[in-house]
Structure formats: C-alpha cells, structure tokens
A = this chain, B = another copy of it.
Amino acid sequence: MLSNLTFVVSNKTCVKDPIKSELGKRILLESINLLDEIGLEHFTFRKLAKSIGSTEASIYRYFENKHKLLLYLVNWYWGWLENKILVETHHLRSNYVKLETVIELLASPIEQDPTIEYINEEKLYQIIIAEGAKAYLVKEVDEDNSEGLFLGYKGLCSIIANFILAINPKYKHSHSLASTIVETCHNQIFFSQHLPKLTDLKEDDHSTLKDFVLHLTAATIH
C-alpha cells in the first residue's frame, strides 16, 4: 500500500527537519507525550531533554523554542487533515457529502497511522484541542504569519470554504463559516471534557458533535 502522506510540513517552524534523524523523531514522539501530559505552560526543553535522554542544546538545534515546536506539530496536523480530506473526498460527487466528510474528520480523533512511528495521532489530536489556539494567540502572530507558519490552517479553511461555495455560491461568509466549523469542533470537545456546562455533548461524544456542527453548517448555508 502506498502512503497517503504526500504533504510537507511548513519548514520555517524548525531549524532542522526532525523527521530526518533519529533524535529528531524522538523529539517529536516525546514532545507529543509530554505536551499531552503536562500542557504547554509546564512543558520545557529541559524536561523534554530529560525524557528523551538528551540535552537541551541538542533540542535547540531542531527547534528555536517551544512555540515553534507547537507550530510544527499544529502544521503537521493541518497538513495531515488537508491530505486526508483530499483523499477521502475527491471521489465524491455530492458537495454536501464532501462537507459532511470534513466535519466527520474534524470531529473525530485522527486514527493512528502505523507507518509513522514518530507521531502519536490520538495524542496529537488532544494537543490540537487543548493547545492549538495558542499557536496563533500570541503577540508574534503577524510575524509568524508573514513567515508562512499558518499556511496549513489557511489551506484547510480555503478547501472547506470552497465546499461551502460549491453548495451555495451566493453564501457571503464562507471563510468565516469554515474557521468557525474548525474551531467549534475542537472547542466543543474540550468543553465536553472540562467545562460540561458550556456544551450539550457528553464527554468525547463525537457523534453528537458531528450532528451539532453539521446541522449548524447546513442550516447556515441554505
């Protein structure tokens, strides 16, 4: 079986491509474990170095700082998702079913790909939910953006916006709706896990999430 993985992660996020060396892959693997475990605020390169049995200085040769590492991971997710969407929708005729597929992918944890041993997709999905917004909610956002570090997110939204426009070419807010769909999927999962009064989902109820977002989307477009 051929790999579906034809996407490339935007590269200004790292000093040296981590997937090209053993240490780099261990950095990715363990940073996902550690981020999932202790969260971005408590995550340091010192702790990461310790958990992979290496040194801070070695990690700095791959990533400038933890913010760039987060951006790398987030971009990996956007790239993975965009690729997945293209693979799973290109054979579909109905634009509505295409949009449904997108929402289904966004609303469910990405499944483990055993051919990529350095990314734990389930944990990465959880990191996206809990930390993803911090990739752009920083003072450096304009600078990062001008370096192309959000191309993954923008590409994804563009695809979704096009599906929306294919269903209703007159709808005026396709990009806003696209980003709202993405953000809402992640937010509602987080709320179901931690602030249940802010949602109607039971914890990690991906099926109800899909119903909610799909209905909202369909009603809004028409």
Query: A: which residues have CB within 8 A of B?
Result: 38-39, 41-42, 130-131, 133-134, 136-139, 141-142, 145, 150, 153-154, 157-158, 172-180, 183-184, 187-188, 190-191, 194-195, 197-201, 208, 212, 215-216, 219-220, 222
Assembly CA distance A191 to B133 (angstroms): 12
Q: Are B175 and A200 in contact (CB under 8 A)?
A: yes
Q: Are A179 and B198 in contact (CB under 8 A)?
A: yes
Q: Which residues of B contact A199 (CB under 8 A)?
A: 175-176, 179
* 19 A-B contact pairs sorted by A residue (CB < 8 Å): A38-B139, A39-B138, A133-B133, A133-B137, A134-B134, A141-B195, A153-B198, A154-B198, A158-B197, A173-B200, A175-B197, A175-B199, A175-B200, A178-B198, A179-B187, A180-B180, A180-B184, A215-B220, A220-B220
Q: Are B141 and A194 in contact (CB under 8 A)?
A: yes
Q: Which residues of B contact A194 (CB under 8 A)?
A: 136, 141-142, 145
Q: Which residues of B contact A142 (CB under 8 A)?
A: 194
Contact of A131 among B137, B183, B216 (CB under 8 A): B137
Q: Are A201 and B187 in contact (CB under 8 A)?
A: no
Q: Are B38 and A154 in contact (CB under 8 A)?
A: no
Contact of A137 among B173, B180, B190 (CB under 8 A): B190
Q: Which residues of B contact A136 (CB under 8 A)?
A: 190, 194-195
Assembly CA distance A171 to B93 (angstroms): 31
Q: Which residues of B contact A188 (CB under 8 A)?
A: 176, 179-180
Which residue of chain B is the closest to A182 with respect to CB atoms? B198
Assembly CA distance A42 to B157 (angstroms): 30
Assembly CA distance A157 to B198 (angstroms): 7
Beyond contacts A153-B198, A216-B216: 8 other A-B pairs, Cβ-Cβ < 8 A, are A41-B139, A133-B133, A134-B134, A137-B190, A145-B194, A173-B215, A179-B198, A215-B220
